[in-house]
Amino acid sequence: MDILDMDARAQSAALAAGDFSAAELMEATLARIAEVNGRVNAVVALRDADSLMAEARAADAAPRKGWLHGIPMAVKDLANVAGLVTTRGSPLFERAVAPKDDPIVSRLRAAGAVIIGKTNTPEFGLGSHTFNPVHGATTNPYDARLSAGGSSGGAAAALAARMLSVADGSDMMGSLRNPAGWNNVYGMRPTWGTVPGEPDRELFLHQLSTLGPMARSPADLSALLDTMTGADPKQPHGQSPADTLPGLFDAPGRLRIGWLGDWGGALPFDAGILPASEVALRRLAGLGHDVTPVAPPFSADAMWDAWITLRSFSVATGLADIYLNPETREALKEAAQWEVGRGLAMDAMTVHRASEVRSDWFRRAADLFDDIDVLVLPSAQVWPFDVTQTYPTEVAGQVMDTYHRWMQVVVPASLIGLPVVNIPAGFGENGLPLGLQLIGARGSDGLLLRLAQQWHAATEWPQARPPVI
């Protein structure tokens, strides 16, 4: 097997055994990036090759730090890596060199990772399509005419194209799920609060976005999650390390799996997505699980209204200074201006009422998980679309009233901080990949990963159907 086809844990074991060196792995990685990144545009801000080779040789000469020792990683371009630019996809920050690592990057380095650059993201991470005026658009390795999804589109495409073996990402509205599904890889939104967030932001009010892992196998997903988790004394919501890897290969038992489909007709889907999802569900049932349809447990409209209120409130807090400055406002893309304008116009009681709806849905979901172990939804409502399109304006003939309405299917989990694993679900008749969201109760991250591992052992979709670039 080519060393770039190996997952990160296999690379790690081979490095520890001396089967190849970190320098050889770095050389192969840089050659692969040179070969395919011009077509995919997933890795950005790539560091100088001589410096990276020197760092890889230093890793070969040093005691092993951890399971990522000597493994190349690129960090999503919303997180700070000391000495690299953090553009956030905005021309306002294209020269903003980070003075220090974010906590998540420090943890990757402590485990031995060699940070080679960044992965592309939409401007400020807004939208499930990875394009921005600084680095351009990331294309789908399965069809370069199409979107790779977002906002962790660069990470997902780099994984699929074998430029990386494991990657970090973040997820507010499907950003670890939609691109994973569209690139035939795994992505995980952990239980909210499990992975420390941005320490420099307000620490208590906003509970929508989280960091998380992406990989070509659940084992790598689990290993990276365990590396990323753990309390940060400078943040109030941290938890103990997830420690999911030791039990990953244990059978999950016979699970009660609830299929939510189109949420009782509330969610439109492109033709072919639901039938292809149901094919995957039958295969999941064949692994010994009870898969049954579940009636809509909560109003989709109520969730959506609460979601866009809380999301705009959150986005506005981060971008208000740019928006309120006449010299910088026009540098924000239209979607960002819309979000911030909405957020700034809200009063406190509007936000409170949205959070009351969120609380009602949380209580209802908790009751639902008394009878169901895992809920399932598709990871996106549309197939990968034209890379030159800003966003889908209609789905199945239904007009989309916002730039992100076409991703409403991810809101039920995001709104209340539930853990979700995207599993590759196969391919449609159009030859494009799709994913399924495995959604669990808070704290069920380990269970979801065990189910994903069982699925992976039976399917190995990332390995069975790699892209041809």
CA 226/CA 429 separation, integer angstroms: 36
Sign for the CA dihedral angle at 334, 335, 338, 343 comes to: negative
Instruction: Give strand pairing partners of 422.
Output: 187, 437
What single string gives the DSSP state of each residue in 307-320? HHHHHHHHHHHHHH
The DSSP 8-state label assigned to residue 245 in this structure reads G
Choose the catalytic residue: 12, 147, 165, 175: 175
Which pair of structure tokens corresponds to residue 420?
């979700």
Which pair of structure tokens corresponds to residue 366?
């908790």
CA 433/CA 36 separation, integer angstroms: 20
CA 412/CA 300 separation, integer angstroms: 8
CA 155/CA 44 separation, integer angstroms: 10
Question: Which of 233, 216, 270 is closest to 398 using CA atoms?
Answer: 270
The H or E element spanning position 43 is strand 43-44
CA 269/CA 261 separation, integer angstroms: 10
Residue that the structure tokens 């399932």 belong to? 376
Choose the catalytic residue: 128, 147, 151, 277: 151
Choose the catalytic residue: 76, 152, 165, 312: 76
Question: Which of 201, 198, 215 is closest to 78 using CA atoms?
Answer: 198
Strand-strand pairing, 114-119 and 43-44: antiparallel
| Contact assessment for residue 435 and residue 379, using Cβ atoms and an 8 Å cutoff | yes
Question: Which of 147, 93, 141, 143 is closest to 118 using CA atoms?
Answer: 93
- CA 253-226-43 angle, 5° bins: 115
Tell me if residue 152 is catalytic. no
CA distances from 170 to 77, 141, 180, 187, 221 (A): 10, 20, 12, 10, 13
Which pair of structure tokens corresponds to residue 342?
């909405």
- Reduce the secondary structure of 165-219 to three states and give it as a string: CEEEEEECCCCCCHHHHHCCCEEEECCCCCCCCCCCCCCCCCCCCEEEEEECCHH
CA 208/CA 307 separation, integer angstroms: 9
Q: Which amino acid belongs to residue 138?
A: T
Tell me if residue 175 is catalytic. yes
Coil, strand or helix: which one is 241?
coil
Tell me if residue 76 is catalytic. yes
Strand-strand pairing, 186-189 and 420-427: antiparallel
Q: Active-site residue numbers?
A: 76, 151, 175
